[in-house]
Structure 1
Amino acid sequence: MRKILLVLFFIIITSCYQETAIAIEGDFTTSYVNNDESIPVLIKIDNKITGADTYEWTFEGGSPATSSQKNPGEIVYSKQGTYTIKLIATNVDGESNEFSKTVVIKEGINIEFSHEIIKSNYSPVEVVLKNATIGEGLTFTWDFQGGVPATFTGKTPPNVVFTTPGDHIITVTVSNGFESEKQTKTVTVAPYLVSLFSYDPKFEDDDYEAPVTIDFTNKSTSATHYKWSFEGGNPAVSTEENPTVVFTSAGSHEVTLEAFNDKTSQIYKLVITVLTDTNLRILTNVKLGINSAHNNNNIGAMFSTVTRQVYKANEINDQNSSLIDVVFQGLNSNFTNNRFISPDQADNYGYLALKNAQSTIFINSQNLCNCGLNFTEAQFDAMVNDSPIKSLNISYSAAGAQEFGFTFPRIILFKTQDGKKGAIKIKDMVKNGTSSYILCDIKVQKQ
């Protein structure tokens, strides 16, 4: 009887235990760490399940791929896609429950694109774009500042043409649906092609009398090569960037420059007028100081018909002293004793000796030289070429070299060491103490 009672008691106890088995309840949640949904992505698991003793996690596409921890922490996803997180939870009572969640991993954005200019950056500029951005599910929006087309949507844009000179920004915006990134490149279009030049005659040819040697300065923009033509010039044609040309005949000469680049060309023309050769250099308003003005470095008394410059004492050096061919001597500010002297005699008349000095013959007093010369002021003023003086017999005489006083206007004749003949007209004698000077016009043969 006692055994029967024990058996019944065991059955009752067992029945009560089965009725109170622990249920597995709740759920788990997922969240994006830092709200970042593009790869690489960290998914945080928050397990709120109760009643379970063991956990079997499966992370499709994740790392780690599985876990038996109640709270597996953060799962790493490095590839875009839609993945399932699954949990099978069990307990000692034999209870089992399955939970699952879906996570969407978006492609990360790593923009890689390049551009290449076809031929050159001279307008119009055609640009090839190469998009090497990797990823699925990305959208691409392109903006081409000042280009044709102006915009494009898609991964592979067409070639773009830029015409206007300057900088043009290419912008691509890439989106994965969660975030967007931008990248820019700059295309620079060179200025429009312009054909242009200026010119300057050689110093000795600045009167544009034939023959004239002219230096041409190319001022073209966005050009790579050139074609010149010179009507009546030597050379007649040239492909140099900055040629030098000689025009030997008087008249109007058309100069043409055609400038090229690999896209286009442009022509620019000018007409240069060459005058008839007078073989006469005309120099006006030349100031020559008295001795004190020269030696005190106020107004020079020495002049070069080659450089066309007046030199004070402190301006004379080994390079220019041999070019001086006119020297004026004025003993005082009252102009009581004046004369033009040969440069190689300067040290005999109150000046320092000139190195490699020239020898110039001066006739200061035509009426005293007994040389048959009577070149008047009217003849000087009317002289437009060297015909009036080229036949003059200008030779040294002591009488002709004599000084003269305060008298003007006055004509002085001279002949340089290399045989060029000339005349000086003193227009004024300005009394200004130690800075007194004469004002002259000079006409001299060029050769």
Structure 2
Amino acid sequence: MNKIRFILMILVFTLYGCAKEEAVPVIVDFEFDVFNDDFSIPVQVVFFNKTEGGEDYEWTFEGGVPSRSVNRNPGVIQYEAKGTYTIELTASNQDGSMDTKILEIQIDDPVLIDFEVTNLVDNFSPATFSIQNNSSGADSFSWTFEGGTPANSSSENPGEVVFTEPGDHEITLEISNGRETYSQQKTITVAPFLVPDFDFEIAFDDDDLQIPVRIQFENKSISATSYQWEFQGANVLTSNDENPEVVFNQTGSKTITLTALNGKETKSLSKEISFFTNTNLRELNDIRLGINTAHTSNTTGSFYSIADRTVYTAEEITTAISERIDIVFFGLSSTFVRNRFVSPDELSGTTFDALQNPKSTIFINSQELCGCSASLSVAQFDAMQDDTLLSSLLIEETPGGLQDFDNSVLPRIVLFQTQEGKKGAIKIKNFVNDGQNSFISVDIKVQKE
């Protein structure tokens, strides 16, 4: 029994003593990840070691910082220059097993997109723009020119593009390095087509268009850079000013022509204005002059300026306006039993406040009581086309002529002469009873000079 056990022990020892250890193989594998998937320098890469059976590691990073590592996981490697680089990992163990893996990584230059648009000459249609590409790091280019000629280009620098249609146009550039794509847009503006246009403003004192007539022209042309004016019957026949002022001194229909230019187009526009013989007579119609309560309550004024052609109420009278008042109507009440026109410097007999630096005007309120030679009928007033009749009148201030008048005579003609010597006539057309807001309605014919 003991013999058999010994034999068995000998056999087991022999079997185990003859057995050999098996070596563990090394299988190298690794992966990497580029931060933000951005392969444009600077590039940061993190490596993941997936090697099996390894104990010692040797990393080599061509072009990387750091360029070598013996750690299982080397951390972050940074690349600062464009190129294609190898990454090599060699792993080994105590059993003498070794394996190597090599990969390549492509590092790109940074992709920067930018372009410059320069307008050549001007932006009037057709407008030419020069395109300069300032991008870098790309190897393909795609241009789109909205409304341009050409409409597209794949050239790095497309050169000049022509835009004809007025308005805003978008220029789009798309660039790529094969892995990354970027785009940028810029807008250019083409000026509207050339349109000549103008308006004019007749001087206030010349708005009856009786020569001489001073006119200020207002240029409203679109997309013009220079102007040529032609004036018929004016003191100047031509002008290159943008907004000229001209005096017309010939009667009849006169043509004004504006030619607008912008270096690419030339267009003209003509308008006509009719001018009339100077009658030296200004006609002012449908003027309302209030009784004293209408004036002081600021409903309808009693003070009138021929130069301003304006009726002023009490609250509107300033020092400057006081000096311009020619006519003052004083109506005592809405019954119109006592009415008269008074000189601006003779307001003491009225309910009105005195004016500052007032003018002096002579009035004949009652021709029938005047006892003077001046006389003008309603028919003569209505037929008056020039100042001939007024010029012949000798307007004198008399006690009778200054007498009040009532509303029993309608129409009534009141004569006057201003401080400047201008003679005129007032035709009272209506007495309107509206209580404290009562007023008279009048027409006035007066000499201009």
- Report what 1:227 is aligned to: 228
* Structure-1 separation of matches of 2:35 and 2:416: 103
- Report what 2:440 is aligned to: 438
3-state secondary structure, aligned to 2:124: coil
Range moving further from structure 2, 199-208 or 327-336: 327-336
- C-alpha spacing 1:34/1:311, structure 2 compared with 1 (3 Å): closer
Contact 1:343/1:357, CA 8 A, preserved across alignment: yes
3-state secondary structure, aligned to 2:346: helix
Shift of 1:73: 2.7
Deviations 1:146-172 (A, max 9, x none): 222222223222312223333222221
Shift of 1:191: 2.9
- Report what 1:201 is aligned to: 202
Deviations 1:366-387 (A, max 9, x none): 2222323442111111112112
Contact 1:60/1:83, CA 8 A, preserved across alignment: yes
Range moving further from structure 2, 169-178 or 409-418: 169-178
Question: Among 428, 431, 448, which residue is 1:429 paired with?
Answer: 431
Shift of 1:234: 2.1
- Report what 2:215 is aligned to: 214
- Report what 1:175 is aligned to: 176
* Structure-1 separation of matches of 2:162 and 2:432: 72
- Report what 1:347 is aligned to: 348
Contact 1:305/1:324, CA 8 A, preserved across alignment: yes
What does 1:62-211 align with in structure 2 at a 5 Å threshold?
62-91=64-93, 95-136=97-138, 138-211=139-212
Instruction: Specify the code of the residue in structure 2 equivalent to 1:282.
Output: E
- Report what 1:411 is aligned to: 413
- Report what 2:248 is aligned to: 247
Contact 2:108/2:137, CA 8 A, preserved across alignment: no
3-state secondary structure, aligned to 2:205: helix
- C-alpha spacing 1:52/1:368, structure 2 compared with 1 (3 Å): closer
Instruction: Specify the code of the residue in structure 2 equivalent to 1:82.
Output: T
* Structure-1 separation of matches of 2:27 and 2:248: 108
- Report what 1:46 is aligned to: 48
* Structure-1 separation of matches of 2:75 and 2:301: 99
Number of residue pairs matched by the alignment: 434
Shift of 1:214: 0.7
- Report what 2:295 is aligned to: 294
- C-alpha spacing 1:294/1:28, structure 2 compared with 1 (3 Å): closer
- Report what 1:28 is aligned to: 30
Contact 1:108/1:176, CA 8 A, preserved across alignment: no
- Report what 1:8 is aligned to: none
Contact 2:28/2:99, CA 8 A, preserved across alignment: no
Instruction: Specify the code of the residue in structure 2 equivalent to 1:319.
Output: A
* Structure-2 separation of matches of 1:378 and 1:89: 129
Shift of 1:90: 4.4
Contact 2:171/2:188, CA 8 A, preserved across alignment: yes
3-state secondary structure, aligned to 1:323: coil
Instruction: Specify the code of the residue in structure 2 equivalent to 1:172.
Output: L
Consecutive unaligned residues of structure 1, counting only runs of 5 or more, are: 1-12
> 2:324 aligned with 1:327, yes or no?
no
- Report what 2:57 is aligned to: 55
* Structure-2 separation of matches of 1:295 and 1:203: 29
* Structure-1 separation of matches of 2:42 and 2:113: 15
What's the TM-score, normalizing by structure 1? 0.89
Shift of 1:233: 1.4
- Report what 2:7 is aligned to: none
- C-alpha spacing 1:320/1:31, structure 2 compared with 1 (3 Å): closer
- Report what 1:6 is aligned to: none
Range moving further from structure 2, 388-397 or 119-128: 119-128
- Report what 2:11 is aligned to: none
Deviations 1:301-357 (A, max 9, x none): 221111111112222121111211111222222111222222211222332222222
Contact 1:301/1:328, CA 8 A, preserved across alignment: yes
Contact 2:28/2:101, CA 8 A, preserved across alignment: no
- C-alpha spacing 1:300/1:52, structure 2 compared with 1 (3 Å): closer
Shift of 1:220: 2.0
- Report what 1:7 is aligned to: none
* Structure-1 separation of matches of 2:147 and 2:305: 60
Instruction: Specify the code of the residue in structure 1 equivalent to 2:217.
Output: F
* Structure-2 separation of matches of 1:180 and 1:14: 68
- C-alpha spacing 1:337/1:31, structure 2 compared with 1 (3 Å): closer
Contact 1:24/1:52, CA 8 A, preserved across alignment: yes
- C-alpha spacing 1:397/1:84, structure 2 compared with 1 (3 Å): same
Deviations 1:179-205 (A, max 9, x none): 322212221223333221111111100
3-state secondary structure, aligned to 2:379: helix
Shift of 1:38: 4.0
Shift of 1:207: 0.6
- Report what 2:286 is aligned to: 285
What's the TM-score, normalizing by structure 2? 0.89
Contact 2:32/2:46, CA 8 A, preserved across alignment: yes
Shift of 1:395: 1.6
Identity between Structure 1 and Structure 2 (%): 46
Shift of 1:283: 0.7
Instruction: Specify the code of the residue in structure 2 equivalent to 1:188.
Output: T
What does 1:260-409 align with in structure 2 at a 5 Å threshold?
260-406=261-407, 407-409=409-411
3-state secondary structure, aligned to 2:345: helix
* Structure-1 separation of matches of 2:313 and 2:420: 24
Contact 2:132/2:159, CA 8 A, preserved across alignment: no
* Structure-1 separation of matches of 2:31 and 2:291: 109
Deviations 1:94-144 (A, max 9, x none): 5544321222334442212222111233333222121121225x3221222
* Structure-1 separation of matches of 2:122 and 2:265: 12
Shift of 1:237: 2.2
